[in-house]
Amino acid sequence: DAKTTQPNSMESNEEEPVHLPCNHSTISGTDYIHWYRQLPSQGPEYVIHGLTSNVNNRMASLAIAEDRKSSTLILHRATLRDAAVYYCIWGGSNYKLTFGKGTLLTVNP
């Protein structure tokens, strides 16, 4: 199974940066790292994905360690709307996303 380790919960203040860590020590060289988030009462939502180098998009940045055994999702300025469960997922076959329990992010006003 595509195992990842994430903190159960994290807390942040509004407009501050948030760094969400993920360990994926058994990842292979061709597996992508994906991040999804699930807002309350909604289905999961794609955030970002990457393979080796750091990636940026309008929602977040993804920093991937050189050995690829860990990654960090960076929200540059957290808003109340970013409060969600964040899932770190890896796998070579994109057809099957193996979700763990994720990290519950609380954003304080």
Partner 1 sequence: ETGVTQSPTHLIKTRGQQVTLRCSSQSGHNTVSWYQQALGQGPQFIFQYYREEENGRGNFPPRFSGLQFPNYSSELNVNALELDDSALYLCASSRTSRGAADTQYFGPGTRLTVL
Q: Using CB under 8 A as the criterion, which residues of the chain lie in contact with partner 1 when the complex forms?
A: 41-46, 49, 85, 87, 93-102
User: Going along the chain, which residue ranges are E strands?
Assistant: 9-13, 18-23, 32-38, 45-50, 55-56, 61-64, 70-75, 84-91, 103-108
Place of tokens 């940066």: 17
Cβ closest to partner 1, residue 13 vs residue 98 = 98
Neighbours of 16 (CB within 10 A): 12
As measured in angstroms, the least distance from the Cβ of 23 to partner 1 is 16
Cβ closest to partner 1, residue 42 vs residue 53 = 42
As measured in angstroms, the least distance from the Cβ of 78 to partner 1 is 22
As measured in angstroms, the least distance from the Cβ of 43 to partner 1 is 3
